[in-house]
Structure 1
Amino acid sequence: MKKTGITLCLLAMSVGLTSVVSAQTQLPNSDFEDIQSISGVADNGGQPYNYEYDSLGQGWISGNPVNRYLEIDHIFMKDTSFTHSGSHAIVMRTDSIGPVVAVGNAGLGEFVFNESNPFASIVFGAPFADRPHAFAGWYTYKSVGGVAPSDGDDRLINGDSLLILCYLTKWNSTLEKRDTVALASWTSSETVTDYTEFMIPFNYFSSDVPDSANVMFLSSSLGYVADFSERPFGVKGSTLVIDDIRMHYSGAGFDEYAELNGTAYTVGKKVVVRLEELPSDASVRIVDMAGRNLVSRQLSDKESTFELAYSGIAFVIVRSEKGTLTRKLYIH
């Protein structure tokens, strides 16, 4: 088990991992019952102190371990009153370290501290080779709102929001990079006091079988930043609790959708979505690599254009009862 340290937030990246294909594969320690107590003595400017914290096993990590010596909100809890089942659940709270927001986070991978860019200290990825239909689990969430940041940014004034993200990748040996096979992402600003099930459909971008699964939970969705050039946002006290996650397979309303006839492409900073026919219930989501919504709305025309103040990889997901259209685009 690798020791973890406090970091402000995280950059989710895939790693090159392989696995053996198996039917209805599940993620390790998906009930979060494997929690290890770690203790020792550290030096603080010549003053030794005892430290003790709880760490998730089997590849689950966080930038915010429970260090009971530090009097800040902690990410892991053992209080059974907060669990959906068993004795343990993950608790993630947004706090602050001086003037900088520190977002509660957890995911699959390893923590390797990057001194030049602490935001890139967490590398995500675990072996996984299957094609589930949805990413599911149980959660509660406290959304703290009504607070506008001092710099006038109004993105949080109506309430903080959680982020649950799972994407499946496969190593492309020809191009020596990871290809995104499927994405399941969800944000919500609704406060939920009792354990409630979430089930997020995967949107597949290829017919490949993945070799790696990547998971990220954030108590504040705007806390995901790539490096020091961006500023994480969140409201202190926003709290996400997760328990009993699972990969959901066919048989309960998440069978493969037919593909809508159409396409999506970029023209500069604009994304164009063009359908051969427009189902009355068609909606579009454009999300970034962190699963954050760039666009989310109903479609009213066969051809729609969206101008984005964003550069990088984006996923276009058009859904209706008649089928789906998914495209992975690079916006310059």
Structure 2
Amino acid sequence: MNKYLDVNDEVKEALRSGKPVVALESTIISHGMPYPQNVETAKRVEDTVRKEGAVPATIAILGGRLKAGLTVDQLDYLGKAGTAVTKVSRRDIPFIVSTGKDGATTVASTMIVASMAGIGFFATGGIGGVHRGAEKTFDISADLEELAQTDVAVFCAGAKSILDIGLTLEYLETHGVPVIGYGTDEMPAFYTPGSGFSVDYRLDTPDLIASALKSKWDLGLKGGAVIANPIPDKFAMDEAVISRAIEQALQELSQKGIKGKESTPFLLARVSELTGGDSLASNIELVLNNAVLAAKTAVAYYK
């Protein structure tokens, strides 16, 4: 076990006894939603994982220690602290650890800590990707590079719809990361079930996904996989409404000169404001939906 890593007792016992564990990120708590919805959602997601027969392991950095599994008090702390907690990707980890600070983990850094702990399944909202206009800015999420090298399957509602989904899929293909559509041939677009872009493979049951992942890792093929799980129709947003909100938010992003890792939190918050909170409600439901699929797949894998 890595000397910088603390695994809580529940997660440690599950890993020791070969029980399924599902990792969960903490940036969604501190930067993805306002308090108290963020903490309420985090607790609901953990409860959802448990109901499906797996053990949740929310991941963060607290006091310079990598944490796999958080207490209720720690979840509440991250929710109240919000954006005062540093958003941490791969490049940031050593600096947050060495200075003893707190960090909320993104998809990339959650994958890293999950892999250190021996956790291969991770449920989140949506992955990062190639940002619109990346041909000029070169703004590409570290999530994609991590998926190419770290053996963790990421269950998500596709790429965030503020991104260039077509280029994101091209990037994943180049790096050998399979994109699996759960019950769909089309890459979901976070708030909506479809994007118009095809996934690599469609698999219709958690058992089939578990079997594919086992074959991949048994063959020694490094890297993770994207399991794209469409938001349920009853929680999806009208495509025209969400598109208008995203376009306006992107214009404001450019006008304000916001760049880098602050871009996504700004865009998600602004889209939520422009949609009267509807996008936040959809965001919560899709995270819960992904937690169910990740837990079911982890259970199937460990059978």
Provide TM-score, normalisation by structure 1.
Answer: 0.25
Larger helix share, 1 or 2:
2
| Greater Rg by CA | 1
Provide TM-score, normalisation by structure 2.
Answer: 0.27
Larger strand share, 1 or 2:
1
